[in-house]
Amino acid sequence: MISAGMLRTEAIASLARARGEMLSLVTMQAVQPWNALGQADNRNQNVLGCMGSASSIALGLALARPEDRVLVIDGDGSLLMQLGSLVSIAEHAPINIYHVVMENGVYETSGSQSVPGRQTADLCAIALASGYRRAERFSSTHDLDAALPSLLRETGPVFISLQISGPGTVAENHDIGQVPGKPAQIENMRRAFLAETSGESHA
């Protein structure tokens, strides 16, 4: 694990506070704490069973829904599975995509093996070299809370690296009810889009 940084639950809580009406795509270890905070609504997709695909799906959603801001919560291990997605996102340059990557340096889901380049690679630098308009790194929730409101309003693509020192504890939330599975989430989002009036914007 990265020695300096924030707990994943703290980082997720900060993102949840700043999300507003953004569309969100969440993958791997971020899913459970995101759901526990009641964020698995009809403007959210949990990207499970396809490690590394969250950013590519977010790109498609951002291009299809230019009136909406799209928040993708990724992991360093997941991103490294499909690192070329950075180049694809930068090439299309959707102004409404905000790519958060939680960096703990390990493949936590499969046994906490170290990710490639853990000691040498700089994902923020790679994102900028790929063509992202901005990349920022945070290691404290205080700094993250202060920066997010304006950062999530900037012209994208924006890359946000969060240094994660540990998972934190996810409190059970009895108020959120049953979280829909992936097919139901997709259908719920589709219906929500159809229900919106043509002049309505969530950006």
Whole-number pLDDT of residue 178:
58
**What is the CATH number for 124?**
3.40.50.970
Instruction: Report if residue 90 sits inside a domain.
Output: yes
Whole-number pLDDT of residue 111:
66
Q: Name the domain count of the chain.
A: 1
Q: How far apart are CA 18 and CA 98, in angstroms?
A: 12
Q: How far apart are CA 139 and CA 161, in angstroms?
A: 9
Whole-number pLDDT of residue 43:
94
Q: How far is CA 125 from CA 42, 50, 86, 168, in A?
A: 34, 25, 11, 28
Q: How far apart are CA 76 and CA 2, in angstroms?
A: 12
Instruction: Report if residue 203 sits inside a domain.
Output: no
Whole-number pLDDT of residue 151:
98
Token pair 């795509």 in the structure block, residue: 25
Q: How far apart are CA 123 and CA 140, in angstroms?
A: 18
Record the pTM. Answer: 0.87
Give me the domain span that covers residue 64. Answer: 6-169+181-189
The contacts found for 145-154 with CB under 8 angstroms, 24 or more apart, are 145/14, 145/17, 145/18, 148/14, 148/15, 148/17, 148/18, 149/18, 151/98, 152/18, 152/22, 152/69, 152/71, 152/98
Whole-number pLDDT of residue 115:
82
Bin 134: left if φ > 0, else alpha if -120 < ψ < 50, else beta: beta
Whole-number pLDDT of residue 1:
42
Instruction: Report if residue 198 sits inside a domain.
Output: no
Instruction: Report if residue 199 sits inside a domain.
Output: no
Profile the chain (203 residues) by mean pLDDT over runs of 10 residues.
79 98 95 94 91 94 96 95 96 98 82 79 97 98 97 98 92 60 70 65 52
Instruction: Report if residue 195 sits inside a domain.
Output: no
Whole-number pLDDT of residue 199:
54
